[in-house]
Structure 1
Amino acid sequence: MARSFLVLYLTQERGLSPTTAGAVVAAVGVGDVGSQLLGGWLGDRIGRRHTMLVGFLGTAVALIALGSAETMPAIYAAAVGVGLMAELFRPAGSAAVADLPVRERVRAFGLLFWAANLGFTVSTVAAGVLVQYGYGILFWINASASVLAALIVWRRVPETRPSTPMATRRALLPVLLRDPLMLTMAAIHVVYFATFLQSFSTLPLVMASDGHGPGTYGAVLALNGIVIVVVQPIAIRLLDGRDRASVLAASMLLGGIGSGLGAVVHSGAGHAGAILVWTLGQIGVAVMFGATFADLAPADLRGRYMGVASTTWSLGAVLGPLLGTALLDHAGRTALWAACSATGLALFAAQQAVAPALRRRTAAAAYDVRPTDPATPTPA
């Protein structure tokens, strides 16, 4: 709730400029970056379950602090705290799903994404209604939901971390630096998420300039969640077994085209149509994202590899608001959305370029990675 409406809260209730609001949203992204890496490390060290508990309870505290902060230093500090705590769940939860048998990963990650968007749909619709009573209530409800999530993990989620002898544990960085495919895939996804996350930074500002209020923005975001809830289960069945590189390339192209449509639409229906296009791209990326990176991850570094994968979202959350709001401020909406469309085309080309290497690696998903050469598979 709170994060989707954060830029509107900062500009409308706090009176900040779009650029300053974008910097605060980027501060959340800075926390996200540390959170993904920390969450992956903790997931491998103290377990997936304990990491999720720390993250959810810490999120509740950080959200209340952000909604109560009065000064800019306090707002920035709380924003970093929200990012640092809220995203601990992502790499730990992804690692828990990646601990499943390989044949179940695409379906499992697809269902996890579907469940998240079911909650997202409910929250955006509810937030669009509740915001008329003040933005503060969104922070408190969001914090309460985080506590509830922690209770569910505490009572119902088992630990899945495979045991690894201390003598065989490896550091992440040496393996990662010798894994060019992982680094390239991560870079591609950073650019994709920076483009996609315009939906939470510049899109509400563009819609406000067209005369649409927070309720309309919430309804449009809810449409994104509704489409995902309806289409995602079908997409899982259709895309499971498909070539992952091709699905990712086409999906990223759709994301860029959908964002580019924002240059020519002004009505609520027009924005809804644009969102339908990039939502289809979002679904394709989401279905393949977790399973693809899980296949690239060595078993003993699974939590940390998934942390690096999740960091691509966080880096996008830093770059997207900063670049998007600055471009919107200085060059206007047409330049912003033209840049998004061009980025979609570039991502399509980049994903196609790495497709052969990705196919070779995912074909060997049942194998682990040698410490001396992460591109060479050995029996797990």
Structure 2
Amino acid sequence: MHALRRLWHDTAGGLPATFWYLWAGLLINRAGAFAMLFLSLYLTDVRGASIGLAGTVVGAYGAGGAAGVLLGGVLADRWGRRSTLLAAHLSTVALMVALAFSQHLLLIAVLSALVGVVHSMPSPAFVAAIVDVVPAERRSRAFNLQFWAFNLGMAVASLLAGVLAEASFTALFLVDAGATLTAAAVIGWKVPETLRPADSAPATHASLRPRRPGGLHTALTDRTFLVFVGLTFVLAVLTMQTSTIMPLAMRADGLGPSAYGLVVALGGALIVIGQLFVPRLIDRHRKDVVLAASTALLALGFGVLVAADELAVYLGAAAVWTIGSMLAAPPNAQINADLAPPQLRARYQAVFYLTFPAAAFVAPTLGGVSLQHLGDRHWLLVGGLGLAAAVGHLIAGPPRERHVAALRREQTPSAAPHDPRHGKAPTTALRS
């Protein structure tokens, strides 16, 4: 028990109260976000939609998600983190209630696309708020706990969704709305606005360096950042194999849905149990080295599937790639935070989060063709892609760190000249 308390103190100690309310809001949000997991079944079983139409509606939800990420990033930098989070959560509540009682397929499709928008809007705001309130030296632990909360919430959602869907799809949407409303209440009650006026307004004092131009264009033309986003995209494509291509490969090996469920459950259990140990493993190492090692583990885990034909091999491979994902989460988020100028923090988060819907499209589209034509050799291609990304992290790491150091210097005020009339140098507030 003493060892567990010490582990928790080392992992979570020193984090501000606002972070924990954000963390609680995220956990509640994810634990209750289960209605859309069963959207395709709801459309076909309850509303009589064809499989093709159901796929189109689910695709509309995904397209809405891509738009929502960008919208959330812009609004979080303009309105503020708290305002964006509340607007997204309360809009989700209204849309979920509407979905619960909607019967026309066209209306359901429109509502699903809008839910995709408001479901994705909070992501940049959540992370930007965490960066706002957590000191730089504690951010790695904060992001580790954020990843843990996200996966713990998803595990709870997966368990609850099946039970509720068996009882009533209407209840599924309404309970989802209730959980989202609870998360909004926590944020509205306990989370102050973390965006400082200095971060959303241009600096004017002569002693400060001029700001870089604001807007999404800055993030989309930042080469160092885009290299990092590209490497993260590869990581996301690898991770998406578990929910897109692996089930097909397991079916080809004669393994049924229950076997696939065991593999997914193992990954979730490892994250929930082991994520708290990650900071101790990675804190002493450079972030680019950690990301290279984690991506190599993903490559190894998926590459092993070239010889998999039994459940035991899939389970062992799942353990390897899950550990890789666990190690990657904190440095990935921390590098993203380091590369973003304070006044564009949420916009950078939005561009970063676009990698996941993009990977959700690319992984099944190209992966299905690859599996069909290459068979088990598809996994050698996936493994090779992962190893190339691991090398890319090692190459990109040192210049990225120099870029981050230059950004920090830009955010530091120039030394003010000595004022002989007052016998000391005047002081100015840093806007960063």
Between 1:307-316 and 1:279-288, the stretch displaced more is 307-316
**Corresponding residue for residue 32 of structure 1:** 65
Q: Could you give the per-residue CA deviations for residues 250-307 of structure 1, whole angstroms, max 9, x where no partner exists?
A: 2122223323344443554443332212111111221111111110011111111122
Percent same amino acid at aligned positions?
A: 34
Counterpart CA distance in 1 for 2:161 and 2:235 is 27
Mapped contact 2:219–2:351 kept (Cα < 8 A): no
Q: Could you give the per-residue CA deviations for residues 329-362 of structure 1, whole angstroms, max 9, x where no partner exists?
A: x437525433322221221122222122123234
Aligned match of 2:361 in 318, 325, 345?
318
Matched, 1:159 2:193: yes
Counterpart CA distance in 2 for 1:356 and 1:264 is 36
Residues matched between the structures, number: 369
Counterpart CA distance in 1 for 2:275 and 2:158 is 18
**Corresponding residue for residue 374 of structure 1:** none
Matched, 1:87 2:130: no
Shift of 1:211: 4.7
**Corresponding residue for residue 353 of structure 1:** 395
Mapped contact 2:141–2:279 kept (Cα < 8 A): yes
Aligned match of 2:286 in 229, 243, 262?
243
Q: Based on CA coordinates, which of the two structures has the bigger radius of gyration? A: 2
Counterpart CA distance in 2 for 1:79 and 1:192 is 28
Shift of 1:68: 7.3
Mapped contact 2:44–2:51 kept (Cα < 8 A): yes
Letter in 2 for 1:294: A
Counterpart CA distance in 2 for 1:207 and 1:52 is 39
**Corresponding residue for residue 76 of structure 2:** 43
Q: How does 1:1-380 map to 2 (within 5 A)?
A: 1-4=34-37, 16=51, 26-62=59-95, 77-99=110-132, 100-133=134-167, 138-164=172-198, 166-168=201-203, 170-176=213-219, 178-207=221-250, 210-213=254-257, 217-328=260-371, 330-331=372-373, 334-363=376-405, 366-368=408-410, 380=432
Between 1:8-17 and 1:276-285, the stretch displaced more is 8-17
Mapped contact 1:249–1:352 kept (Cα < 8 A): yes
Shift of 1:69: 7.5
Mapped contact 1:252–1:348 kept (Cα < 8 A): yes
Letter in 2 for 1:360: R
Shift of 1:139: 4.4
Counterpart CA distance in 2 for 1:87 and 1:252 is 25
Counterpart CA distance in 2 for 1:28 and 1:290 is 25
Counterpart CA distance in 1 for 2:155 and 2:93 is 20
Between 1:66-75 and 1:22-31, the stretch displaced more is 66-75
Between 1:185-194 and 1:166-175, the stretch displaced more is 166-175
Counterpart CA distance in 2 for 1:175 and 1:220 is 41
Q: Could you give the per-residue CA deviations for residues 77-126 of structure 1, whole angstroms, max 9, x where no partner exists?
A: 44433321111111000001111221111111111111111112222233
Letter in 2 for 1:35: G
Report 1 or 2 for greater relative contact order, CA contacts < 8 Å, sequence distance ≥ 6.
1
Q: Could you give the per-residue CA deviations for residues 209-253 of structure 1, whole angstroms, max 9, x where no partner exists?
A: 64533x654453332222112211110222124211111122122
Counterpart CA distance in 2 for 1:10 and 1:349 is 44
The answer for unaligned runs of 5 or more in structure 1 is 371-377
Letter in 2 for 1:307: A
Shift of 1:51: 0.8
Provide the alpha-carbon RMSD of the alignment.
3.4
Shift of 1:161: 0.7
Letter in 2 for 1:186: V
Mapped contact 2:124–2:346 kept (Cα < 8 A): yes
Counterpart CA distance in 2 for 1:252 and 1:266 is 24
TM-score (norm 2): 0.73
The answer for unaligned runs of 5 or more in structure 2 is 1-33, 204-210, 413-429
Counterpart CA distance in 2 for 1:179 and 1:137 is 45
